[in-house]
């Protein structure tokens, strides 16, 4: 369906995805983890730096785990806003949500190899590159007939 959603960052980003999304009201497609946890990955030479945006979260809401070469970041949040006016509710809002994102970082890493910090809504994780990894030539061209 071609319906703009107020829950997405940009209608145009998902234009073609929405064309083929026939079960629109019944899926949990409104807020994908990738949209909630925008991530930048930088190559710093001997290390990689992962910056994951988690606005509105506190450090206590976030947990990271390394398992079988996969780095998984979990963010769980519960929020309860309540405004009363003369004993009657004017507004009541509740939010409870979980999101997670996984990245394959390699089997060579251990938990102590990863440095993590959380500041201004950004989780930054820095970890070393695999020194035994074979460099892949990125400029291989495929002939087009």
Residue 66 belongs to a domain with what CATH number? 2.60.40.790
> Does 27 map to a domain?
no
pLDDT truncated to tens, each residue of the chain (145 aa)? 444 444 444 444 444 444 444 444 434 444 444 457 899 999 999 999 999 999 888 899 999 999 999 999 999 887 776 666 677 777 777 777 788 999 999 889 999 999 999 999 999 999 999 877 666 666 777 888 7
Domains contained in the chain, number: 1
> Does 138 map to a domain?
no
DSSP assigned state of 54: -
> Does 13 map to a domain?
no
> Does 55 map to a domain?
yes
> Does 22 map to a domain?
no
Boundaries of domain holding 120:
33-128
> Does 110 map to a domain?
yes
Q: What is the chain's length?
A: 145
Burial pattern 79-102, b for ≥16 Cβ within 10 A else e, equals eeeeeeeeeeeeeeeeeeeebebe
């Amino acid at each position: 369906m071609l319906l703009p959603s107020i829950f997405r960052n940009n209608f145009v980003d998902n234009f073609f995805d929405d064309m083929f999304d026939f079960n629109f009201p019944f899926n949990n497609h409104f807020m994908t983890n990738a949209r909630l946890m925008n991530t930048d990955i930088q190559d710093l030479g001997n290390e990689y730096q992962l910056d994951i945006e988690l606005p509105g979260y506190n450090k206590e809401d976030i947990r990271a785990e390394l398992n079988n070469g996969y780095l998984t970041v979990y963010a769980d949040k519960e929020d309860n806003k309540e405004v009363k006016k003369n004993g009657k509710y004017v507004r009541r809002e509740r939010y409870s949500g979980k999101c997670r994102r996984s990245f394959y970082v390699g089997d060579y890493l251990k938990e102590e190899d990863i440095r993590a910090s959380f500041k201004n809504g950004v989780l930054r994780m820095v970890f070393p590159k695999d020194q035994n990894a074979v460099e892949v030539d990125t400029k291989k061209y495929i002939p087009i007939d």
